Structure 1
Amino acid sequence: MTTPTSSDPATEVAATDLKPKGLAVLKAAFRERRTLAMLLLGFSAGLPFAMLIGTLNAWLTEAQVSIATIGILSWIGLFGAFRFLWSPVVSWIPPVIGARFGRRRSWLLCLQVVIAISLGLVALSRPESGVLGPLALGAALGAFAFATQDIVIDAWRIEVADERVPIDLLSTIYQLGYRTAALAGGAGALLLAEAMGWPGVFATAGLLMGLGLIGTLIAPEPTPTSQASVARERRGSPTLRLAVLAATLLAWGWAAFMLIQFMVEALTVTPAPSARDFTATWGPWIVAATVILPAALAGLIVWKGRAATAAEGAAAPKLADTLYDAILAPLVELMGRLGWGAVVVLCLILTYRITDGVWGPFAFPFYMGTEGGALGHTNAEVALASKTFGVVMTIVGIALGGWALLAIGRMWSLLLGAILTSATNLLFVDLAQGAPNVGAFMSATGLYGLFGAFQIGEPLSRLMVVIAGENVAGGFAGAAFVAYLSALSNKTFGAVQFAVFISLALLIGTLGRGALGELVEAQGYAPMFIIAAWLGVAAIVFVLIEWVRLGLEARKAPAA
């Protein structure tokens, strides 16, 4: 086989121009079944999260289940934060039906059936009777299954992307499906509960998981990863690889012990420990042991090691190499590819979504409380502003983010998202201080009159406008962020790498919440939002540094 060494420049330009660009990519992509599959898979990812993490608490509250018991069930949310612990298993071991449907699709089919069954178990429970066994089992099973499903969907999205259906577009479509499910499983479920009761709502959600099954069946199976490409990451001597693997397994074993111990205590100890407190206290240590330490050791392998010779690769026990390929090879590849840039990438991931994540638990106290600048709205008003109008605005933001990714590019979109999420915190500062600027803006633009036509008073209309700004910014930034992380992941190791990225982004938001709570009690809500805005400035700085890093890499690529 020969490779041409030169060609006519005019021909090259013409060939390039035939590729769809900008919004033309969107038109070309929707002729592909991958985009429809991505939309349905995004819906199947968002629905169980909305039902089991949020809406279930509304049913329990209505059934007059104690706050302590609801707290016991809250630990199921940890499955999402720590899913990277079992991502290597999902990445490399197919379920029993894998021979027919392929590794990714067979996992999706199994997990979607499990999620549907778990929602059915919840539907069969009767929390008002005080018997919570079936409900707890269904909720825990469903949370584990949807967290695992997220690993597979993320890997599938990374692996099937190409120039015709780029990762930016697939990431945006996934977000649209996810947020649509959040609207259906949030406000939609609350409305449906009035008509058919909570068991019917959860049974309906179980049936709606059939949309995910359809998405899985029409989704193409990605090309399996070449074992040779994985084996190339077996760098250094067998002794070094075994030592690093042993240290990593010990760290992961400790993390698993801590998680299991907490879960047992949550189910057996009264009063139950707080999942939020556990994550805030032990989350950083678990992340350090299970992500930071293995990443550092992977960097050591890259620094000290070299590509293993055939003899060295054969010298290590087969089981050790198998575990190394599943657990450490993704991190070795990442550290080897990024080099010093890994520090920049890590800082960007840790700071990008912290502006809204860090104060998320204080949102409802701010909306509904009466002290420290809180707004004093009712449950119904907050449900309208946040759970209905707010989710719609998030979807609008995602759509705008998808347009920006295709029209102005990934890094411009990432930077704009960081600026918007930082700036919109200042709107909440204004609300906490009595809304002098927001109120003046709404009077000048006639927005008070527009909302008044729908019988919405001035205080609620101000909240809705500020939530609209914050959620549009959050949706925009979320689309850009997921696209960036997806592009950052190597197709060969996408499942593990993306799971690590998302886990870091989720867990970092828990840091400092205890101190923020004390700050709110002492000084009110306005200082908290000011701090969040400054944290957003840090994200802007890291985006700019990452942009420079990518530019330097791009200039080096032709020379290489």
Structure 2
Amino acid sequence: MAEAQGGKPGWAAVLRAMGQRKTGYMALFGFASGLPFALFLGTLYAWLSEAEVDLETMGVFSLIGLSYAFQFLWSPLIDKVNIAGFSRLGRRKQWMVPAQLLLGGILVTLSLLDPVSQLGWFSLLAGIGAFASATQDIAINAWRIDVADEKATLDILSTVYQMGYRLAALVGGAFGLIIAARIGWPETYALMGLILLGIGALGLFAPDTKVGNVDDDAASDAQLLALRSAGELRPEIRARALALVGVLWAGAIGVVLTFMVMSLAFPPDQRPNPTEFTLTYGPWIIVATVVLPALIAGWLAAQKRDGTNLLAEDAPPATGAGFAMDHLYRALVLPLVEFVGRMGWSLVLILALVLTYRICDAIWGTFAYPFYLGELEYTNDEVAFASKFFGVGAIIAGLALGGYLLTVLGRMLTLTLGALLAALTNLLYADLAIGGARMQAASDAVGFTSAISQVPVIGSPALAKLTFTVMFENLAIGIAGAAYIAWLSSIVSKQYSAVQYALLSSLTLLVGTLGRGALGEMIEDRGYFDVFVLTTLIGFVAVALCLAEWYRQARKGRAAGVVTPEVVPAE
């Protein structure tokens, strides 16, 4: 394992990776990714509430979340389109840096607008900002996969990215509220905008894979010519597949755009509900853009593997419509064909793990505040201390521990351990739901209660019990998050990293949204205790799937005659 990782495992490997230039930029880009998300989907509502914008009007701003949920719809652009005048920055920076500068400019401009009298411009800029933020996220995730090497490993870059992201959530969320209470909302957003402008300026000097090294004209032409060489699928077969996938993606994009136009143009009482839209159309959008295209890609891969519908000899170079078709096929269909062809039936296991690994956190997060404030009757200040300040620190500590475990235990063991810990921490909340006697006893026994009771104004044994529980859950979330992002990044192809990663990560995001309705009904009918037991059991399913994926990777490594660092035990 030491040789595979490029040095001795443990904190030394972590510290060595931390000293890399790429790692520093990864932390910076993680911060740039998390800050707009916090400002557009959280803090902005506090500003609008203080400005006394009515709730129905604020509903328009929930459209912003759609940019993140369905960002994969334009991810092929990030993989295959170069921006004129910016391509010299690098394959990914040509998207990242302009997005960061645009976001900084939008935040500064928002600080100059009145959210009441200039609500139209305010909402338009916020929507553009969310689109730019989601686009930046696609490019940053692809950048992390592209630039990873034996010194700045993919595991460490993934961990550092999340540290920066979590820190930005704290700065844009809790600290944003504190700053706004002292200097005002316009000044706060102007300050955040200047921070992003600074990151965009610094990003100009970040390392990146050059466009000429990966996707220059010669490489593009060679790839397009290869589609028409002997042994490749016949153009008419590819054209039919492209037409089907194109119709499915165009329909999905059309549904999302129609919803957005209706939400912006219709009176407040006639606007469609974003939550209902996601629940009703979200699954069908995933079916249209992921499931059915994956089946089509599987059929294409099977055709090529079986020697069916292949060119017997080289076809002439494409011109006109054929040339455009080849470009679209390469951008939209080929990433799926490559992924499905490489994974085969293992794709079922991959998708099952993607859908279940983070489902506990994704669903539970919506009901955290009702549980803390309503069921357990804590105050806003107590919840803010436990979940925002102490909780974010615990997540960052968990990420650091996860990064360490990745170097010592390997990716798959850490992934499995993270799934197990994340599942078991639901039982800690189950104890809180029935009084928390065990958590209180544990907190008392280690002296945690005594320490938290010293917190001015709000310190108490009850707060210690909550904080103790949140600490263990967030440590587990940090470990699981570090391993999950590293694993997800490792299974995509660098050639199509933007599309493949965006598709897989969108499933993680959307499944939580789709499950919240059913979980809310269960809370109403059965109470929180039963819900936490259920989420624990779901977590155990993820553990079983991790073991199956670990076995798959080990078997693949043995078949290739290679021992991978993911399956070698630590010395």
TM over 0.5: yes
Per-residue deviation, 1:89: 1.0
Inter-partner Cα distance in structure 2 for 1:68 and 1:297: 42
Per-residue deviation, 1:543: 0.5
Q: Within 5 A, what are the aligned runs for 1:64-463?
A: 64-127=52-115, 129-222=116-209, 223-225=213-215, 226-227=219-220, 228=222, 235-267=232-264, 268-271=266-269, 272-306=271-305, 309=311, 311-312=314-315, 314=317, 317-369=322-374, 374-455=375-456, 456-463=459-466
2:538 aligned residue: 535
2:559 aligned residue: 556
The question of whether the paired residues in 1 share the 8 Å contact of 2:5 and 2:150 is answered with no
Cα-Cα RMSD: 2.1
Give the SS at the match of 1:358: helix
TM-score, scaled to structure 2: 0.90
Question: Quick one: which of 57, 61, 72 aligns to 2:45?
Answer: 57
TM-score, scaled to structure 1: 0.92
Paired residue type of 1:98:
F
Per-residue deviation, 1:337: 0.9
Paired residue type of 1:470:
E
| CA displacement, residues 181-231 of structure 1 (integer Å, 9 cap, x when unaligned) | 111111111111122101111111100113422442221121424434677
Give the SS at the match of 2:183: helix
The question of whether the paired residues in 1 share the 8 Å contact of 2:448 and 2:468 is answered with no
Per-residue deviation, 1:65: 2.2
| CA displacement, residues 53-100 of structure 1 (integer Å, 9 cap, x when unaligned) | 111111122222222222221121111111111011121111122343
Give the SS at the match of 2:349: helix
| CA displacement, residues 339-398 of structure 1 (integer Å, 9 cap, x when unaligned) | 1111111111111000111122111111111xxxx1122222222222222111111111
Structure 1 residues 231, 284: closer, same or farther in 2, change over 3 A? farther
Paired residue type of 1:46:
G
Paired residue type of 1:253:
A
Question: Quick one: which of 494, 513, 516 aligns to 1:513?
Answer: 516
Per-residue deviation, 1:251: 0.7
| CA displacement, residues 114-173 of structure 1 (integer Å, 9 cap, x when unaligned) | 11122123222323x354122211211111001000111111111111222211111111
Structure 1 residues 231, 219: closer, same or farther in 2, change over 3 A? farther
| CA displacement, residues 471-517 of structure 1 (integer Å, 9 cap, x when unaligned) | 11111111111100111111111111111111111011122321221
Inter-partner Cα distance in structure 1 for 2:205 and 2:385: 36
1:523 aligned residue: 526
Paired residue type of 2:83:
P
2:31 aligned residue: 43
Give the SS at the match of 2:44: helix
Structure 1 residues 80, 230: closer, same or farther in 2, change over 3 A? farther
Question: Quick one: which of 494, 499, 504 aligns to 1:501?
Answer: 504
Per-residue deviation, 1:312: 4.5
- The gaps in structure 1 that reach 5 residues or longer are 1-12
Paired residue type of 2:343:
L
The question of whether the paired residues in 2 share the 8 Å contact of 1:358 and 1:532 is answered with no
Structure 1 residues 231, 529: closer, same or farther in 2, change over 3 A? farther
- The gaps in structure 2 that reach 5 residues or longer are 563-571
Give the SS at the match of 1:359: helix
Structure 1 residues 333, 454: closer, same or farther in 2, change over 3 A? same
Inter-partner Cα distance in structure 1 for 2:449 and 2:19: 43
Per-residue deviation, 1:291: 0.8
Inter-partner Cα distance in structure 1 for 2:497 and 2:133: 18
The question of whether the paired residues in 2 share the 8 Å contact of 1:33 and 1:218 is answered with no
Inter-partner Cα distance in structure 1 for 2:316 and 2:24: 42
Give the SS at the match of 2:111: helix
Aligned length: 541
Inter-partner Cα distance in structure 1 for 2:465 and 2:50: 29
The question of whether the paired residues in 2 share the 8 Å contact of 1:54 and 1:186 is answered with yes
Inter-partner Cα distance in structure 2 for 1:50 and 1:545: 36
The question of whether the paired residues in 2 share the 8 Å contact of 1:95 and 1:103 is answered with no
Give the SS at the match of 2:514: coil
Inter-partner Cα distance in structure 2 for 1:313 and 1:375: 71
Paired residue type of 1:203:
A
The question of whether the paired residues in 1 share the 8 Å contact of 2:431 and 2:438 is answered with yes
Residue 470 of structure 1 pairs with residue 473 of structure 2 = yes
Per-residue deviation, 1:429: 1.0
The question of whether the paired residues in 1 share the 8 Å contact of 2:359 and 2:512 is answered with yes
Percentage of matched positions with identical amino acids: 44
Inter-partner Cα distance in structure 1 for 2:259 and 2:144: 33
Structure 1 residues 432, 273: closer, same or farther in 2, change over 3 A? farther
The question of whether the paired residues in 2 share the 8 Å contact of 1:359 and 1:528 is answered with no
Question: Quick one: which of 476, 479, 484 aligns to 1:481?
Answer: 484
Inter-partner Cα distance in structure 1 for 2:35 and 2:489: 22
| CA displacement, residues 19-60 of structure 1 (integer Å, 9 cap, x when unaligned) | 323234334334432111111111111111111111111112
Paired residue type of 1:333:
E
Inter-partner Cα distance in structure 2 for 1:322 and 1:246: 13
Per-residue deviation, 1:442: 2.0
Give the SS at the match of 2:561: helix
Inter-partner Cα distance in structure 2 for 1:432 and 1:274: 31
Inter-partner Cα distance in structure 2 for 1:438 and 1:30: 36
